[in-house]
């Protein structure tokens, strides 16, 4: 019997990532994300499509909201499913999900679906029953509904994307299916690049976030140089720089970078502002430093001097006390600190906003990142028109692979088929056509939500 793969979200977009697999009666979901910009039920994966199917295991690749945000809802629908993730993801999951309860309270207008909305108690109960695996530890999957004699196992591999991130290898007898999850093969500032299986696989479910970018134009040392020069010019001009960052991953990478630059004397020792759950996550990065595949294990993020951004009640402090603000909210989403600070930043010509990571084309962050001094913009569709007086620049500190990095993975794993997920339609189309040129004869699919693909085993 073929293996069924049914994408339930994150197809043709970076949204509510969720993939359903059926291995002869045993149901596995990989990732339970929530759409970052939609609200209420619209933000969930298409769970209605598997209402009558078995769900025995839910594997979480990492604790970013677009991969874990709807997990409590899934557990309400499938209470018998066991959740599998890496050790660090288990630690981070509680923090991220407790935080998303706050976000849901703020955005949930949907009274009719109250039973699906979860609270803090649900999360404590949920995380207590996670099965956490070491990287490269094989774990056998079984259930009452499984009717195959083949051995089915899962193995997690370090994906190098954020702390705890994992790629997933599912082995069904001799058939091997590899889900990259969000993956970064090259080293970042803190984390070393991904580890991939040493034997070929049959199928790769591949992320494609930066599939339309070639690697040739990018070099990390060059980008660090450019970032340092820009920061110096803002600070010496009497301004503060805001870097909108995700609390999980990008905050820690940028905090490490900024402090290393200060230690080397390449940046003046100005206040660095951090806040929200990113501080709790810094602590987990520190606690896991010896267990993590990282460049320097001895440096602790919490040893760097940091001012709590949420304790700043008067924004004019940023004028008197120039500094670097690592503001939670990487895409300047409504309700985040970076969204609150942006209007203040925009009207100050000495200030600067520096973007460092992925920005969705439909987010407020995208509008800001593509504006220049003198432009006028609206942060939200119905928001007020604002003039851009501050400096705006974009830097690349990627935690997703460029095309060349993906091709290296495909070359070593030699799949007969690739399914593209987790990328805009443009990224998928662009990457897809390049794959067909480079790997003639390969079977290629662009995942479409709700459309099943069958793999012969």
Binding residues for Zn ion, rule: CB under 5 A, are 64, 66, 182
Which C-beta is closer to Zn ion: that of 379 or that of 421?
A: 421
**Smallest distance from the beta carbon of 69 to Zn ion, in angstroms?**
11
Do 174 and 148 contact (CB within 8 A), yes or no?
no
Do 282 and 300 contact (CB within 8 A), yes or no?
no
Residue 418 in tokens? 């690739």
Distance, CA of 23 to CA of 52 (rounded, Å)? 15
**Smallest distance from the beta carbon of 160 to Zn ion, in angstroms?**
11
Which C-beta is closer to Zn ion: that of 13 or that of 66?
A: 66
**Smallest distance from the beta carbon of 269 to Zn ion, in angstroms?**
32
Helices 250-263 & 220-236, crossing angle to 10 degrees?
70
Which C-beta is closer to Zn ion: that of 163 or that of 371?
A: 163
Do 167 and 92 contact (CB within 8 A), yes or no?
no
**Smallest distance from the beta carbon of 66 to Zn ion, in angstroms?**
5
Distance, CA of 147 to CA of 49 (rounded, Å)? 22
Which C-beta is closer to Zn ion: that of 56 or that of 182?
A: 182
Which C-beta is closer to Zn ion: that of 69 or that of 275?
A: 69
Using DSSP, state whether 404 is helix, strand or coil: helix
**Smallest distance from the beta carbon of 31 to Zn ion, in angstroms?**
8
Main-chain dihedrals φ then ψ at residue 260, nearest 5 degrees = -65, -40
Which C-beta is closer to Zn ion: that of 34 or that of 117?
A: 34
Distance, CA of 156 to CA of 153 (rounded, Å)? 10
Give the contacts of 333 (CB within 8 A, at least 6 positions apart).
36, 37, 339, 363, 364, 365
**Smallest distance from the beta carbon of 358 to Zn ion, in angstroms?**
8
**Smallest distance from the beta carbon of 67 to Zn ion, in angstroms?**
6
Question: How do 376-378 and 385-387 pair as beta strands?
Answer: antiparallel
Distance, CA of 324 to CA of 304 (rounded, Å)? 13
Q: How many CB atoms lie within 10 A of CB 336?
A: 22
Which C-beta is closer to Zn ion: that of 64 or that of 90?
A: 64
């Amino acid at each position: 019997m073929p293996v069924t793969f049914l994408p339930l979200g994150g197809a043709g977009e970076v949204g509510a990532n969720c993939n359903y697999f059926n291995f002869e009666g045993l149901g596995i979901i990989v990732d339970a994300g929530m759409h970052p910009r939609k609200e209420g039920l619209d933000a969930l994966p298409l769970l209605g499509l598997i209402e009558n199917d078995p769900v025995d295991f839910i594997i979480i690749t990492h604790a970013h909201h677009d991969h874990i945000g709807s997990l409590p809802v899934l557990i309400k629908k499938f209470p018998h499913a066991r959740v599998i993730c890496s050790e660090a993801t288990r630690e981070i999951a509680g923090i991220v999900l407790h935080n998303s309860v706050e976000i849901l309270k703020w955005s949930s207008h949907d009274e009719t679906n109250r039973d699906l909305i979860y609270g803090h108690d649900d999360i404590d109960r949920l995380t207590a029953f996670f099965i956490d695996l070491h990287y490269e530890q094989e774990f056998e999957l079984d259930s009452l509904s499984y009717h195959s004699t083949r051995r089915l196992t899962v193995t997690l591999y370090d994906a190098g994307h954020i702390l705890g991130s994992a790629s997933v290898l599912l082995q069904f007898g001799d058939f091997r299916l590899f889900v990259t999850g969000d993956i970064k093969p090259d080293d970042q500032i803190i984390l070393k690049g991904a580890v991939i299986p040493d034997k070929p696989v049959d199928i790769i479910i591949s992320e494609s976030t930066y599939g339309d970018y070639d690697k040739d134009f990018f070099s990390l040392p060059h980008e660090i140089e450019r970032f340092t020069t820009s920061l110096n010019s803002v600070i010496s001009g009497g301004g503060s720089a805001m870097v909108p960052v995700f609390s999980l991953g990008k905050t820690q990478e940028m905090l490490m970078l900024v402090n290393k630059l200060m230690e080397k004397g390449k940046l003046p020792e100005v206040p660095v502002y951090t806040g929200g759950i990113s501080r709790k996550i810094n602590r987990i990065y520190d606690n896991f430093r010896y267990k993590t595949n990282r460049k320097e294990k001895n440096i602790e993020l919490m040893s760097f001097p940091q001012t709590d951004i949420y304790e700043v009640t008067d924004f004019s402090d940023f004028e008197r006390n120039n500094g670097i603000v690592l503001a939670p909210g990487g895409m300047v989403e409504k309700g985040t600190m970076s969204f609150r600070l942006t209007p203040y930043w925009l009207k100050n010509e000495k200030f600067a906003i520096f973007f460092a990571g992925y920005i969705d084309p439909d987010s407020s962050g995208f509008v800001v990142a593509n504006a220049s001094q003198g432009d006028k913009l609206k942060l939200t569709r119905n928001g007020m028109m604002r003039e851009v007086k501050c400096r705006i620049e974009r830097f690349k500190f990627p935690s997703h692979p460029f095309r060349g990095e993906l091709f290296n993975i495909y070359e070593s794993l030699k799949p007969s088929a690739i399914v593209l997920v987790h990328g805009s339609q443009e990224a998928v189309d662009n990457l897809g056509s390049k794959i067909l040129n480079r790997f003639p004869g390969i079977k290629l699919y662009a995942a479409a939500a709700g459309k099943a693909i069958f793999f012969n085993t």
